[in-house]
Amino acid sequence: MSETGTTATATRNKRRLRQGVVASDKGDKTIRVVCQYQVRHPKYGKYLRRRIVIHAHDENNQAKEGDRVEVMVCRPVSKTKAWRLVRVLGNV
């Protein structure tokens, strides 16, 4: 039975990852990450800038405002948090 447990963790699905910049680290164990991307307009072809704001769980409060971070989707931690911090990539 222990072998089944190890193979289950080894073959875990890839989860969605996003990169963004920390906009706020005011909350305890919570960061707000702004992820910007571009999408092409279907009719006119112009590229439009879009952004989403993600609330992510930062267990050790290691990310600071202005840092570039990578976040991963996880089970809901609270009403607005369903992402968690994977790593800090550096300062912008």
**What is the predicted pLDDT for the residue at 17?**
93
Predicted structure pTM score: 0.80
The 3 state secondary structure assigned to 48-62 is: EEEEEEEEEECCCCC
CATH 3.80.10.10 fits 14-91, yes or no: no
The 3 state secondary structure assigned to 4-36 is: HHHHHHHCCCCCCEEEEEEEECCCCCEEEEEEE
pLDDT digits (tens, 9 = 90+) for 28-87: 999 999 999 999 999 999 999 999 999 999 999 999 999 999 999 999 999 999 999 999
Of 5, 3, 63, nearest to 29 by C-alpha is 63
Q: Are strands 17-24 and 30-40 parallel, antiparallel or unpaired?
A: antiparallel
